[in-house]
A and B are shown apart, each in its own frame.
Chain A
Amino acid sequence: AQSVTQPDIHITVSEGASLELRCNYSYGATPYLFWYVQSPGQGLQLLLKYFSGDTLVQGIKGFEAEFKRSQSSFNLRKPSVHWSDAAEYFCSLSGGGADGLTFGKGTHLIIQP
């Protein structure tokens, strides 16, 4: 069975500091990987996705993520966070086709002034 693990339930970062959110997955082949962001009362918005090719992918809002097959990881990074980045972040995977997504439990990001 496929699964996604986000080890950090909460992360607190000072505004302007760098950010890394961890994501590990379990899947029998190379999955399709995604990061979504959810602000309070909002639906999920896609930040970036990895399908194949370059293992460093760029997304919206200045985010990037790196796929590491050897570590089964897909960590999300941002060099300098803004107060508006405070939200819930979800890592997810799909086996392909028109499959639904399997999500991690999320990481709640808190930004300190």
Chain B
Amino acid sequence: EAEVAQSPRYKITEKSQAVAFWCDPISGHATLYWYRQILGQGPELLVQFQDESVVDDSQLPKDRFSAERLKGVDSTLKIQPAELGDSAMYLCASSRRGGVVNNEQFFGPGTRLTVL
């Protein structure tokens, strides 16, 4: 069964360092989402791609976060510099083109980030 892949699974970094997370969606899925899940909270959408284009990054802290999906397949989320409050689980999800009515979002296992 196809799955969304994410790496690394765990990342520990020091404050002010740069970190990057990678996501490989299910083959053929045009829409890719990055969510942040703070401990004890539900996931919050950071950025959404349709193919290689950003369609929603309204909740992305653009002063320190960036995301790209250059060839419309895999994606990278970067934080520079990392802050203590960035400690969270970063989840990637993908879905087929066409919207939520017909297309389930499939989630990867996430990257657990700890900023010291």
Contact = CB atoms under 8 A, between A and B. Distances in A.
- Are A and B interaction partners? yes
Interface of A: 4, 32, 36, 41-46, 49, 51, 90, 92, 94, 96-106
A104 B35 CA distance: 13
Contacts of B97: 98
Interface residues of B, number: 29
Nearest to B10: A41
A98 B109 contact: no
Contacts of A105: 40-42
Nearest to A99: B100
A92 B42 contact: yes
Contact of A98 (B4, B43, B99): B99
Given A96-B101, A100-B48, A4 B42 contact: yes
B13 interface: no
Interface of B: 4, 31, 33, 35, 40-45, 48, 50, 55-56, 91, 93, 95, 97-101, 103-105, 107-110
B107 A104 contact: no
A103 B45 CA distance: 9
A106 B50 CA distance: 28
Given A41-B109, A43-B110, A98 B100 contact: yes
A32 B100 CA distance: 8
Contacts of A42: 109
A101 B45 contact: yes
Contact of A96 (B43, B48, B99): B99
Contacts of A92: 42
B46 to A, nearest CB: 9
Nearest to B102: A51
B40 A103 contact: no
A84 to B, nearest CB: 18
